[in-house]
Amino acid sequence: MAAAVGDSRQVRPAPPHYRAGMGISREERPGLAGLFADMAASCARLEAPTYALLSQHVADSVNDPGPLADLLDPYAEAAVGDMLPLRFLGAIHRLALERRAPELALFFASMGGTPPTSERARAHFVRAFEDVVAHQGGQIAAALEWFPQTNEVGRTEGLFTVLRRIQHSFGLPVRLHEIGTSAGLSLRVDELVHRGIVSDAQPTWGDLPSIIERVGVDLELVDINSDNGRLHLTSFIWPDHVQRFERLRGALAVAQQIPADLSSADAVEHVRSLRLQPGTTLVLWHSAMWMYLAPEQRAEIVELLAALGDQATAEAPLVHVALEPIDTVHRHVFRLQVATWPALPDTDLPPGLDVLWGTAPPSGTPVDWAVPCAGAIAHDDAGRLLVVRRGQEPAKGTWSIPGGRVEPGESWAQAAIRELHEETGLHGEITGFAGLIERAAPEGATYVIADYRLRAAGEPRAADDADDAQWVDRQELSSLTTSPGLVEALRGWDALPT
């Protein structure tokens, strides 16, 4: 397969810069109606019809005089990042869980109720909600001061698989640390999978390492040994998502049996305190928390990890695993991104490079695994670039560089050399790494393409996925119809032909 280099989602060897997982910027203040309308749309897309109905009702009526307007008026200038709709819905759900809103609980699947589907049921549901707001405004107002905490353990599906790969590469016991740990449930990832609470997505990827240290920090820890703490976690799970309740119930039971070292601490300070230990792999993990950090905090964590990574060796590796929202537009897609110091031995990638392993919904499951590919940026002694005309989709008929999927058992660099030979008949020698790019795959996954610089010589003969192959100089390249982003990527990597 000819690699399609470059597109609007180009990724280079640089620190991750996650943005808020909301539909509009975290700093925007669209008003109460705007906040709840956006929440209604999110709930509808994420198959939470009960919350979608409730949020839309609030959006439509919050500016009308009455108990609802009085209750929410102090938050009229709330920013998106304040998560007001989530806090409000969590407060309502908590009242139902505490048996203080029995008429409302009739419609919450989390309470054994039936979501309203008919016009009559929806009207009954809205009346029950308005009654709760009118008579229990004080309890709701108090609960609005609490920040959302779900500690969704489904997000560990990706972490578990990453740990398998780490074990395969380094073969060392793991010290697992989590920032933004909430109640520390994710730190029991191995037992969560062993008990079937979280799906074992890639059992063929190898054995799980021994986790010898489980450490989590959070500014506001949740105590799962208290009724209030368990209720706090449960209230922020959406009533329509019954499967998430089952996962949380199982995770709480596991946490009672598997100890973890939890403390109230700042994420930056904790990362600053991390030290490598020979004979162990240090894994720093976080999910759905990067958005809560200020830009300068994120930058400092990235710098601290890079500095610690400079000290890492194969006997004392460092791994950073993150599951965070992609951006403000794709707010319901989370990136499972991994960086390792040193690089995984079977990848031939630079150390510390953030690599997309897959994407997932906010619940973390299922993971849509990325497809690893490699591209060959081959030049001859005259500085000409070797290009092939694509014989298959995507971008059939356009010109690109040789490349294709990484096959089992080979490294990215080996795949680049093989694809070069299969598509042009030429043998090449790796001279360096150019960069990573991402491209949407036809089947809905993502191609993650590692492009390598190669030196090659001879007359190419098109084969495999290529319809034609030739050496081109810069002027000749400009006359060709190239795959999207190819020229821009090559220019950014200083890899254009002369």
Contact 32, 144 (CB under 8 A): no
Give Cα 437 distance to the centre of its chain.
17
Question: Any idea which residue has 């928390």 for tokens?
Answer: 289
The structure tokens listed for 310 are 């400079």
pLDDT of residue 292: 84
Instruction: State mean pLDDT over 181-208.
Output: 90
Which of 29-33, 235-239, 327-331, 333-337 has the least mean pLDDT? 327-331
DSSP state of 3: B
Cα distance between the two ends of the chain: 26
Instruction: State mean pLDDT over 204-209.
Output: 83
pLDDT band at 15 (very low <50, low <70, confident <90, very high): very low
Q: What is the mean pLDDT of the chain?
A: 90
The structure tokens listed for 459 are 């007359």
pLDDT band at 9 (very low <50, low <70, confident <90, very high): very low
pTM of the model: 0.89
Pick the CATH number of 153-353 from 3.40.50, 3.30.2020, 2.70.98, 3.30.750: 3.40.50
pLDDT of residue 8: 33
pLDDT band at 325 (very low <50, low <70, confident <90, very high): confident
What is the Cα–Cα distance from 46 to 49, expressed in whole angstroms? 8
pLDDT of residue 1: 54
At 303 the three-state DSSP class reads helix
Contact 240, 115 (CB under 8 A): yes
What is the Cα–Cα distance from 277 to 175, expressed in whole angstroms? 9
At 359 the three-state DSSP class reads strand
Question: Any idea which residue has 């999978």 for tokens?
Answer: 193
pLDDT band at 150 (very low <50, low <70, confident <90, very high): confident
Segment 278-313, tens digit of pLDDT: 999 999 999 999 988 889 999 999 999 999 999 999
pLDDT of residue 250: 96
pLDDT of residue 80: 84
Domain extents in the chain: 31-143, 153-353, 371-492
Range 371-492 classified under CATH 3.90.79.10: yes
Is the pLDDT assigned to residue 395 strictly greater than 90? no
